[in-house]
Amino acid sequence: MDSKVALVVTSIARPNMALKKLSQCVQDKNWSFIIIGDVASPADFYLEGCDFYNLSHQLALNFKFAQSCPKRHYARKNIGYLLALQNNAEIIIETDDDNIPYPNFENPRQRQQMVPVVSESHWINVYRYFTEANIWPRGLPLDTINKPLPDTWENLEIALVDCPIQQGLADRNPDVDAIYRLTLPLPQDFRRDRRLALSRNSWCPFNSQNTTWWHDTFPLLYLPAYCSFRMTDIWRSFVAQRIAWENNWHILFHEPTVWQERNEHNLMHDFEQEIVGYLHNYRLCEALQALPLQSGQDKLADNMRICYEKLVSLSILDRKELKLLDLWLEDITFLTK
């Protein structure tokens, strides 16, 4: 992969083991490394190979979004994506400050994939193709977690597909919801010999913890800010999937390339923040699926507005989200002129 790659993280921590490992990785591969701070970030943050942006640095940028995005929210990670675009990145890899890269994290990413494909199957618990454990990804509606898989691994059709959004799995402490963490065992690891693509009308949430995005999809990176921390990347993933269908883009799920040494969390607080998803994710995706969207790179912004207007109309997002989305799209347009 000769493309220009940027790694984007948001963090309020001092350089820890995960960030140091990521720093070594980017230096090995000559990737850029952008870390977006927030109110609680240490004033003296320094990590070799990293460009760290504290709040004052962010506010000094020529991005309209940076001036209006709420503080103390994961959505400030959007500023890192804009910086990567400004620096002419062709591929953005994102992760978090508690994900430690395996050696294969540095492997070249390939957009075109010859893989088994699932299509027209509605909700898919993708984790079930990578493990026999009773486990599901954060954001999967609870009444679908035990839904049978549409076919066995051996019987899935293999095809060459375009996958400009790719979700890598995470071992040990994978991305599961608070109900799982409160009731079922960890750590859990996944198979390392499988990849799978989802096509039109197949839904599975994906997160922001180990995800690769190609340039065509950069507008879809937008993380909504007027919602809970535990839902922002999940709802982004649903919007991205719906718009991807119109462009014949597939969502790839692939073998673990990181393991998570999870930051401290209050699980009951996580549960509280996830309730809106438990109650509404199914309905949200039904509404997105019914929207009349259009194909084409030049229609991404219009499609995003249609999707987020629908989420506002369902009272899932605050109306203030639409103004922030417009600022994001204005910045994207300015940077891609």
Q: Is the CA virtual torsion 30, 36, 41, 42 positive or negative? A: positive
Give residue 41's Cα distance to chain centre.
Answer: 22
Q: Is the pLDDT of residue 36 over 60?
A: yes
Given this model, what pLDDT does residue 245 score? 97
Mean pLDDT of the 85-92 span: 97
Given this model, what pLDDT does residue 287 score? 97
Torsions phi, psi of 118, nearest 5? Answer: -110, 130
d(CA 177, CA 187): 14
Mean pLDDT of the 140-157 span: 94
Residue 35 lies in a domain: no
Residue 201 lies in a domain: yes
Residue 239 lies in a domain: yes
Q: Which two tokens stand for residue 58?
A: 């962010």
Which of 243, 237, 229 minimizes the C-alpha distance to 303? 243
Given this model, what pLDDT does residue 337 score? 78
Give the rounded percent of residues in the chain with a pLDDT score beyond 90: 96
d(CA 187, CA 174): 8
Cβ atoms 85, 164 nearer than 8 A: no
Residue range of the domain that includes 231: 101-335
Residue 117 lies in a domain: yes
Most confident of 2-11, 190-199, 258-267: 190-199
Residue 26 lies in a domain: no
| Identity of the residue numbered 261 | E
Q: Is the pLDDT of residue 2 over 60?
A: no
Q: Residues 250-273: pLDDT tens digits?
A: 999 999 999 998 888 899 999 999
Given this model, what pLDDT does residue 263 score? 84
Mean pLDDT of the 20-43 span: 95
The 3-state secondary structure of the chain, one letter per residue? CCCCEEEEEECCCCCCHHHHHHHHHHHHHCCEEEEECCCCCCCCCCCCCCEEECHHHHHCCCCHHHHHCCCCCHHHHHHHHHHHHHCCCCEEEEECCCEEECHHHHCCCCCEEEEEEECCCEECCHHHHCCCCCCCCCCCCHHHCCCCCCCCHHHCEEEEEECCEEEEEEEECCCCCHHHHHHCCCCECCCCCCEEEECCCEECCCCCCEEEEEHHHHHHHCCCCCCCCCCHHHHHHHHHHHHHHHCCCCEEEEEEEEEECCCCCCHHHHHHHHHHHHHHHHHHHHHHHCCCCCCCHHHHHHHHHHHHHHHHHCCCCCCHHHHHHHHHHHHHHHHCC
Q: pTM to 2 decimals? A: 0.97
Given this model, what pLDDT does residue 1 score? 42
Residue 41 lies in a domain: no
Count how many domains the chain has.
1
Is the preceding peptide bond at 174 cis, omega within 30 degrees of 0? no
Q: Residues 104-122: pLDDT tens digits?
A: 999 999 999 999 999 988 9
Q: Residues 291-333: pLDDT tens digits?
A: 999 999 999 999 999 999 999 999 999 999 999 999 999 999 9
Residue 48 lies in a domain: no
pLDDT band at 128 (very low <50, low <70, confident <90, very high): very high
| Angle (CA) 300 170 74, round 5° | 50
Residue 46 lies in a domain: no
Average pLDDT, the chain: 96
Give residue 95's Cα distance to chain centre.
Answer: 8
Which of 239, 248, 235 minimizes the C-alpha distance to 296? 248
